[in-house]
């Protein structure tokens, strides 16, 4: 007896992987639809010839308070933009983990 040819499988592509996407993909696992994931940051983007800004490098940086004239000087081995976002995250989550965040939170200054 000869097997009948099956129709081509349909695919759904997700670009992010999070708990919400995991729940959605579990629903698709019970169907004939295939699941694939793709990155939003492929290798060719990493190798592009775009110019880098000063914030793409590591080094010494200075963050000034918007309310007073005080400034925080720090040093990082990672991208300065990443470290800056961490400082802002500490302020938004009321976490005095950095001296800059402590100054903003204690004095209720603008950042």
pLDDT in tens, 35-91: 777 766 666 565 655 555 555 788 888 999 989 989 999 888 888 889 999 999 999
How many domains does the structure of the chain reveal? 2
Residue 24 belongs to domain spanning: 10-40
3 found inside a domain: no
Tens digit of each residue's pLDDT (9 = 90 or more) over 4-23: 555 557 877 777 666 777 77
Contact between 110 and 67 (Cβ < 8 Å): yes
Q: Which residues of 41-50 are buried (b: 16+ CB within 10 A; e: fewer)?
A: eeeeeeeeee
CA torsion sign for 61, 67, 69, 70 is negative
Q: Which pair of structure tokens corresponds to residue 104?
A: 């903003």
45 found inside a domain: no
91 found inside a domain: yes
Can you give the pTM of this predicted structure?
A: 0.50
């Amino acid at each position: 007896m000869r097997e009948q040819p099956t129709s081509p499988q349909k695919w759904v592509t997700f670009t992010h992987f999070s708990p919400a996407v995991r729940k959605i993909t579990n629903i698709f696992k019970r169907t004939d639809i295939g699941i694939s994931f793709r990155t939003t940051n492929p290798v060719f983007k990493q190798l592009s010839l775009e110019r880098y800004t000063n914030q793409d490098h590591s080094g010494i940086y200075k963050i000034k308070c918007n309310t007073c004239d005080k400034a925080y000087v720090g040093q990082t081995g990672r991208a300065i933009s990443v470290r800056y976002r961490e400082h802002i995250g500490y302020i938004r989550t009321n976490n005095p983990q950095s001296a800059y965040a402590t100054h903003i939170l204690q004095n209720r200054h603008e950042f």
